[in-house]
Amino acid sequence: QTIYLEDYKPFGWIIDDVHLTFRLHPTATRVISRIRFRPDYDVHHRPFFLHGEGLKHISIKVDGHEVEPTHVDGGIEVDVPEAPFNWEAEVEINPEANTALEGLYMSNGMYCTQCEAEGFRKITWYPDRPDVMAQFTVRIESTASHTPVMLSNGNGLYTSTDQTQKDTPSVTIYQDPWPKPAYLFALVAGDLIAHEDKFTTMSGKEVNLAIWVRPGDEDKCAFGMEALKKSMTWDEEVYGREYDLDEFNIVAVDDFNMGAMENKGLNVFNSSCVLASPETSTDANFERIEAIIAHEYFHNWTGNRITCRDWFQLCLKEGLTVYRDQQFTADMRSEPVARIANVLALRGRQFPEDQGPLSHPVRPESFQEINNFYTATVYEKGAEVIGMLRTLVGADEYSKALDLYFDRHDGDAATIEDWLQVFEDSTGRDLTQFKRWYSQPGTPRVTVREDYADDTFTLHLSQSTAPTPGQDDKAPQVIPVNVGLLNPNGDEVMPTQTLELTETEQSFAFPGHATRPVPSILRGFSAPVILDHDIDNARRAFLLAHDTDPFNRWESGRMLARGSLMNSIATGAAPDLAYLNGLGAVLRDDTLDPAYRALMLGQPSQTELAGLLHDTGDTPDPEAIHIASEALRDAKAAALADVLPDLYQANQVKGAFSPEAGPAGQRALANAALSLLSRSDAGKQAAAQYQQADNMTQQLAALSCLLDAGQGAAQLASFQVQWAHDRLVMDKWFSLQIIHANPQDAATTTARLTEHKDFDMKNPNRFRAVMGALSMHHAGFHYRDGAAYALLADWLIRLDPLNPQTTARMCSAFQTWKRYDPARQEKITTQLDRILSQPNLSRDTTEMVSRIRDA
Ligand code: ARG
Ligand code: ZN
């Protein structure tokens, strides 16, 4: 059941075009496919196998003659001529019964599809593999009363839908001129309202844009539409990429396993990733929505026009597209703030993955269920790899290489080898060693030693990567290490240079420094590595005060916070004064962007601290970590008592709400200050803010502060009444209570919420709002009674038969089990074994739990 990269074989048949007819019915949709196949004579062995899963066979005709297929695992085999032929098949499917949300399913009365990675085989017989590309024409048959709006990929060719003739049959036809793999197919039908706009591309073509939503959500589309237009402009200006159809549609769907999907010309979004209004969405929501709209739009070139040969190449489109959306966010907002946010996400999600039982290469070499590989490693580390490549070759060479990539591979289903070849050809650089970033999992550790003699400052760098499952020996990688030098007054004496660390050990000399300089290493987090640099607090405080690289300046504060916390955890020592004083100075510096200062106020998460302790050979005690983290917050509140009220006041935003980076940053800083202030004023200021709030950012921040202060019961109740009608806000209401529960109460709070009438396990957003919140509450999830482990396992077992994908993803909550003490380990493995012993456990969940368990 394991599939290997090295076993790749081309399909053997070429499809010229595909005609699909859908006769929509909630429980018995008919799908008729007419496909022209011809042999690919370059391929010698051409068995005719088509994928298909859960399809009710009605008929299959080859060149007009009825044939009987042979049913084999995952599809059918059919005797076909060794010559071009016409295929015609009819199947029946049941969208209403489709709770896995893969293939054609219903969400709140609306038909929608999710085909990536292998969902098209649940719609009809087809070579459901990304290297088979074809032109699709789609005919949808229904009635205006059943589905007033019908959409598919490409351009609308024809519709007979007449909204005054509700029950007469209606037909809509879409045609997509661009050959595409089946995973990019989409169909949506239902009662939808459009928020429309237009965009004129750089060559003067007009594109009709629409965001389709359920009635009642039409006032939440404006922000997404602006984000879409900004994305279209940005991709023209920065990558020279123009949109290539007459229309571009986005649909918001309530039940969706992931964030969004880049189907050609018809992006389908989890409603949480597109619907936005000031009253219901936080600044963080706005920022995420802007990034995801951009991400899906950018896929039109990196993913759709150039797609992947097979699913092992997933990072070819995802790493590059994440990298592009990160560049976009940096351009739209603040570059340093965006970089820090990306590194926080990488360390928060990718590092634990890369350093635990689920570790896999950016380009995996085997899998059982590809849906399990839509991971932080493929996406976020995949993006870091692109960023390193750009750092190594330089911005101009990167642009040239990308032009060549689009030129050479437009219309292809490509590989990582193709991608690297483009860079080799265009820059002349040998990327043999660089390629290890794609095949070698694990987080490299770079250790730094300094030397200074005869006016020469020397950095001795060494690298090593710990063994990962199935790969013990690691070869050295090319690591771009950005370095700058400061003099003891804090002036920069050497601007940022990129050192290329290619050996296990390497030294870099910087002559001509009459005084010993202070290095700033791994500026901008130029590589996804762990930096091991043993320097004292005075040095860190100096860099916190003076580093000219904003990322490293923040990182110095982070390192001080980290050291202080580790010390408190180990010895119960009070928080470190060097950190608190340095932080105070940064916060008082009004020349610094409020969003950046808000990030400075943060501290390492409890999960991160557990990882660090494990790293240094200690067993993390979740309770001790929790206590130390809270103590540091208390110490900050006390040490910053004179600056917090000013920060809070000075960053109140007047006037109409704007989700732009400037005011959002001010709100972030004011709310970070409020959360510390609330530790000493019993939530008085927070209660006032809650009372006055006219936007979700302010309302939710105030409520969080109240809950942390052990208050807020009344506000929580009124919040529920106020927002009972809004699913996405109610998701926040569910999460909030778990996030702010005391560790010993987290499991019981969660269990109580699962009994709430609005808890719906079939809705992935709601399930994640509850179970995801529990698994991210470090001290609560790992509370010593093990109740949270059992509760999560109970619900995973319940969800698995309905929705394997969402179940499997959530199993990663257990991936760090080896970090903990024997008692906790035993409690976790008991639950993992209980999950594994379920009869008919899905392939998705079986693979995830076995990998975690076998660590
Ligand atoms: N390609 C989508 C994106 O990155 C993700 C969809 C994956 N869905 C899945 N079920 N594996 O934007
Ligand atoms: Zn993507």
Q: Is 258 in the pocket of ligand 1 (CB under 6 A)?
A: yes
490: left (phi over 0), alpha (psi -120 to 50) or beta: left
Number of H helices, E strands in the chain: 30, 31
702-712: average pLDDT: 97
Q: Which of 135, 178, 122 is nearest to 34 (CA)?
A: 135
Rounded distance from Cα 742 to ligand 1 centre (Å): 35
Kind plus residue range of the DSSP H or E element containing 509: strand 505-510
- pLDDT value of position 538: 96
Q: Is 257 in the pocket of ligand 1 (CB under 6 A)?
A: yes
CA 792/CA 785 separation, integer angstroms: 14
CA 183/CA 120 separation, integer angstroms: 6
Q: Is 315 in the pocket of ligand 1 (CB under 6 A)?
A: no
CA 482/CA 521 separation, integer angstroms: 6
CA 124/CA 91 separation, integer angstroms: 7
Q: Is 262 in the pocket of ligand 1 (CB under 6 A)?
A: yes
pLDDT by residue (tens digit) across 467-515?
999 999 999 999 999 999 999 999 999 999 999 999 999 999 999 999 9
Catalytic residue ranges: 296
- Indicate the pLDDT class of residue 619, thresholds 50, 70 and 90: very high
Rounded distance from Cα 109 to ligand 1 centre (Å): 23
* Cα separation values, 123 from 19, 170, 474, 600, Å: 13, 21, 43, 50
Encoded tokens for 812? 């990663």
Output Rg (C-alpha) for the chain, integer angstroms: 28
Q: At what angle do helices 606-615 and 622-639 cross, to 10 degrees?
A: 120
- Indicate the pLDDT class of residue 592, thresholds 50, 70 and 90: very high
pLDDT by residue (tens digit) across 165-201?
888 899 999 999 999 999 999 999 999 999 999 999 9
Measured from the CA of 371, which atom of ligand 1 is nearest?
11
Backbone angles phi, psi at 760, to 5 degrees: -130, 105
Give yes or no for residue 355 having a pLDDT over 90. yes
Rounded distance from Cα 273 to ligand 1 centre (Å): 13
**Residues comprising the chain, all counted:** 855
Rounded distance from Cα 260 to ligand 1 centre (Å): 6
Measured from the CA of 299, which atom of ligand 1 is nearest?
12
Three-class SS state of 460: strand
Q: Which of 151, 136, 21, 150 is nearest to 90 (CA)?
A: 21
Query: Nearest residue CA, atom 12 of ligand 1?
Result: 261
Query: Residue-wise over 399-436: b if at least 16 C-beta within 10 A, else e?
Result: bbbbebbbeebeebbbbbebbbbbbeebbebebeebbb
Encoded tokens for 507? 């030294």
pLDDT by residue (tens digit) across 14-49?
999 999 999 999 999 999 999 999 999 999 999 999
**Could you tell me what percent of the chain has a pLDDT over 90?**
99
Rounded distance from Cα 386 to ligand 2 centre (Å): 15
Query: Which ligand sits nearest to residue 374's alpha carbon?
Result: 1
Q: Is 318 in the pocket of ligand 1 (CB under 6 A)?
A: yes
- pLDDT value of position 109: 96
Instruction: Provide the residues around ligand 2 (an ion) whose CB is within 5 A.
Output: 318, 321
pLDDT by residue (tens digit) across 291-313?
999 999 999 999 999 999 999 99
Answer for the pair 855, 820: CB distance below 8 angstroms, yes or no: no
Residue type, 449: R
- Indicate the pLDDT class of residue 438, thresholds 50, 70 and 90: very high
Q: Is 118 in the pocket of ligand 1 (CB under 6 A)?
A: no
CA 761/CA 739 separation, integer angstroms: 19
Three-class SS state of 453: strand
pLDDT by residue (tens digit) across 656-685?
999 999 999 999 999 999 999 999 999 999
CA 21/CA 19 separation, integer angstroms: 7
Pocket test for ligand 1, best of 373, 374, 809, 848 (most atoms within 8 A of CB): 374
Measured from the CA of 318, which atom of ligand 1 is nearest?
4
- pLDDT value of position 151: 98
Answer for the pair 619, 818: CB distance below 8 angstroms, yes or no: no
128-144: average pLDDT: 98
- Residue 198 buriedness (CB in 10 A; 0-12 / 13-18 / 19+): exposed
CA 458/CA 452 separation, integer angstroms: 6
pLDDT by residue (tens digit) across 201-234?
999 999 999 999 999 999 999 999 999 999 999 9
- pLDDT value of position 73: 96
Q: Is 374 in the pocket of ligand 1 (CB under 6 A)?
A: yes
Rounded distance from Cα 846 to ligand 1 centre (Å): 20
Give yes or no for residue 855 having a pLDDT over 80. no
Query: Nearest residue CA, atom 1 of ligand 1?
Result: 261
Give yes or no for residue 161 having a pLDDT over 90. no
Give yes or no for residue 411 having a pLDDT over 90. yes
Q: Is 188 in the pocket of ligand 1 (CB under 6 A)?
A: no
Three-class SS state of 17: strand
Rounded distance from Cα 262 to ligand 2 centre (Å): 7
Neighbours of 727 (CB within 10 A): 21
* Cα separation values, 110 from 38, 97, 209, Å: 36, 13, 20
Answer for the pair 816, 855: CB distance below 8 angstroms, yes or no: no
Query: Nearest residue CA, atom 7 of ligand 1?
Result: 116
- Indicate the pLDDT class of residue 58, thresholds 50, 70 and 90: very high
Q: Is 371 in the pocket of ligand 1 (CB under 6 A)?
A: yes
Give yes or no for residue 534 having a pLDDT over 90. yes
Answer for the pair 120, 103: CB distance below 8 angstroms, yes or no: yes
* Cα separation values, 550 from 390, 395, 542, 600, 723, Å: 20, 20, 14, 11, 39
Q: Is 325 in the pocket of ligand 1 (CB under 6 A)?
A: no
Kind plus residue range of the DSSP H or E element containing 518: strand 518-521
Measured from the CA of 102, which atom of ligand 1 is nearest?
10
Q: Is 291 in the pocket of ligand 1 (CB under 6 A)?
A: no
Q: Is 231 in the pocket of ligand 1 (CB under 6 A)?
A: no
CA 176/CA 157 separation, integer angstroms: 10
Pocket test for ligand 1, best of 121, 256, 258 (most atoms within 8 A of CB): 258
Backbone angles phi, psi at 279, to 5 degrees: -70, -30
State pTM to two decimals. 0.99
Query: Which ligand sits nearest to residue 318's alpha carbon?
Result: 2
Neighbours of 457 (CB within 10 A): 22
Rounded distance from Cα 674 to ligand 2 centre (Å): 36
Query: Nearest residue CA, atom 3 of ligand 1?
Result: 261
Averaged pLDDT of the chain:
98
Encoded tokens for 393? 């070759």
